[in-house]
């Protein structure tokens, strides 16, 4: 095994229900179960042999890599959820153009009002919406690695939902996002369904965005408008991941400190608005060093959590996985120093026939660098989405989900995986 590791080969493992759901084929051939489907679209994982552990893989993300040009047009949405008013930015993938807005991330400009009013279409192109990681945005290179094969000749349309305050967007109510902030996603999905009534909708989430996406899928259950989804480097159990980060020098002084610094910078970008929130002591937040301190001093008071641990436990997606009722592929590296292995809900994957977990023995956090700079995870992620749209009869699949196929009727209704401790006021 060590010999193969020296060559960059990673062990690939799959975790799944004993009777995974069948995916009906468009060509009327025999259905394929989701496990075999995932195995077919997952290539051998051979990474850069010089990046032979999770730390090296993750550190390499800080090295400037080659560019992947994706162009966006941005629209600012006003939130419809009365409990969480404000605005958020959605970036839509468009054809290359001249004249990007220098106040926005590279290759991004605002839609003109008249242009956006005519954005709707009756075509049936597959449509992807993406959720980025902590303090990231549509500009992130890991996100563009997946978008590129879909939108460049793949016939897909795509958009990225930027979390409030991220990607140079403005907040208007003194509130950032959190790890269970699914309300803006829900609004975007409803808007996409109305604006593109014939397009099958798919989702992908990265790191914290993966956690949010699984929470959304669980909340929607069998009423979910998405046809399938992928999540990459999901931290799953935020409390466990946070404790793991604090238990080692690298975890605390490199990863947690770097993320804390990033979030403190986000505070400074929006300090005028955040200062209006009477629950937040801005000077205390400015003194934090680590991510868990930021969550203690800003996220907890903002959302009403007494401690960062209470917030982590309530916002984790490991239980939400049990309520997911659309095909889901999850990709995690077992040596991920941020979304640690011990936080992965292996047993929960064995209980949900709609979900398959693919782990690799190498890969780091949102890394999986191959020799040459490509990222391995983009291949199974994009292939899963493309093959779902091309080969699977999505209408039959939706009918099967509506009938409750694949879910044992004898399961006692005693455990509700979506019961949250933080009560969101209704409109």
Give catalytic residues, as residue numbers: 207, 336, 365
d(CA 215, CA 236): 10
Q: Which of 27, 313, 40, 359 is nearest to 179 (CA)?
A: 313
Handedness of CA 83, 108, 91, 75 (dihedral sign): positive
CB 160 within 8 A of CB 130: yes
* H/E run at residue 398: helix 394-403
Hey, what are 172's tokens? 């208007």
d(CA 121, CA 194): 10
Q: What are the backbone dihedrals phi and psi of residue 227, each rounded to the nearest 5 degrees, phi first?
A: -90, -30
Unique residue bearing structure tokens 């956690």: 211
Q: Which of 180, 333, 369, 365 is nearest to 254 (CA)?
A: 365
Q: What are the backbone dihedrals phi and psi of residue 16, each rounded to the nearest 5 degrees, phi first?
A: -165, 170
Using DSSP, state whether 64 is helix, strand or coil. Answer: coil
How is 287-346 classified by DSSP, letter by letter?
A: T--SHHHHIIIIIHHHHT-SSHHHHHHHH-STTGGGG--S-EEEEEETT-SSS-GGGS-H
For the chain, the helix, strand and coil percentages under 3-state DSSP, each to the nearest 5: 40, 15, 45
| Radius of gyration of the CA atoms of the chain, in A | 21
Unique residue bearing structure tokens 């209980």: 351
How is 100-111 classified by DSSP, letter by letter?
A: --TTSSTTEEEP
d(CA 332, CA 335): 9
Using DSSP, state whether 4 is helix, strand or coil. Answer: helix
């Amino acid at each position: 095994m060590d010999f193969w590791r020296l060559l960059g080969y990673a062990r690939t493992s799959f975790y799944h229900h004993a009777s995974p759901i069948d995916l009906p084929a468009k060509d009327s051939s025999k259905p394929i179960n989701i496990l075999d489907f995932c195995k077919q679209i997952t290539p051998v994982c051979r990474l850069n042999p010089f990046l032979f552990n999770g730390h090296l893989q993750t550190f390499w993300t800080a090295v400037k890599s080659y560019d992947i040009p994706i162009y966006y047009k941005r629209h600012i949405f006003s939130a419809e959820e009365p409990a969480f008013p404000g605005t958020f930015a959605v970036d839509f993938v468009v054809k290359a153009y001249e004249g990007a807005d220098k106040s926005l991330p590279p290759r991004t400009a605002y839609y003109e009002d008249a242009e956006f009013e005519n954005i709707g279409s009756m075509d049936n192109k597959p449509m992807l919406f993406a959720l980025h990681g902590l303090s990231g945005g549509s500009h992130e290179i890991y996100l563009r690695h997946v978008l590129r094969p879909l939108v460049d000749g793949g016939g897909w349309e795509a958009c990225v939902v930027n979390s409030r305050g991220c990607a140079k967007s403005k907040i208007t109510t003194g509130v950032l996002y959190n790890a269970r902030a699914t309300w803006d996603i829900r609004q975007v999905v409803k808007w996409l369904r109305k604006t593109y009534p014939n397009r099958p909708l798919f989702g992908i989430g990265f790191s914290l965005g993966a956690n949010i996406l699984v929470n959304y899928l669980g909340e929607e259950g069998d009423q979910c408008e998405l046809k399938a989804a992928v999540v990459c480097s999901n931290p799953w159990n935020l409390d466990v991941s946070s404790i793991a980060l604090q238990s080692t020098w690298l975890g605390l002084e490199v990863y947690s400190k770097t993320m804390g610094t990033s979030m403190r910078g986000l505070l400074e970008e929006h300090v005028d608005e955040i200062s209006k929130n009477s629950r937040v002591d801005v000077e205390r937040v400015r003194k934090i060093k680590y991510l868990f301190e930021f969550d203690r001093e800003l996220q907890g008071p903002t959302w009403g959590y007494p401690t960062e641990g209470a917030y982590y436990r309530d916002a984790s997606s490991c239980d939400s996985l049990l309520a997911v009722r659309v095909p889901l592929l999850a990709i995690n590296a077992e040596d991920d120093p941020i979304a640690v292995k011990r936080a992965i809900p292996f047993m929960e994957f064995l209980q949900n026939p709609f979900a398959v977990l693919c782990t690799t023995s190498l890969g780091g956090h949102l890394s999986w660098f191959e020799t040459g700079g490509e990222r391995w995870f983009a291949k199974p992620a994009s292939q899963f989405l493309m093959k779902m749209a091309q080969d699977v009869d999505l209408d039959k699949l939706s009918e099967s989900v509506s009938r409750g196929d694949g879910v044992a009727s004898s399961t006692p209704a005693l455990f509700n995986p979506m019961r949250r401790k933080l009560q969101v006021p209704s409109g």
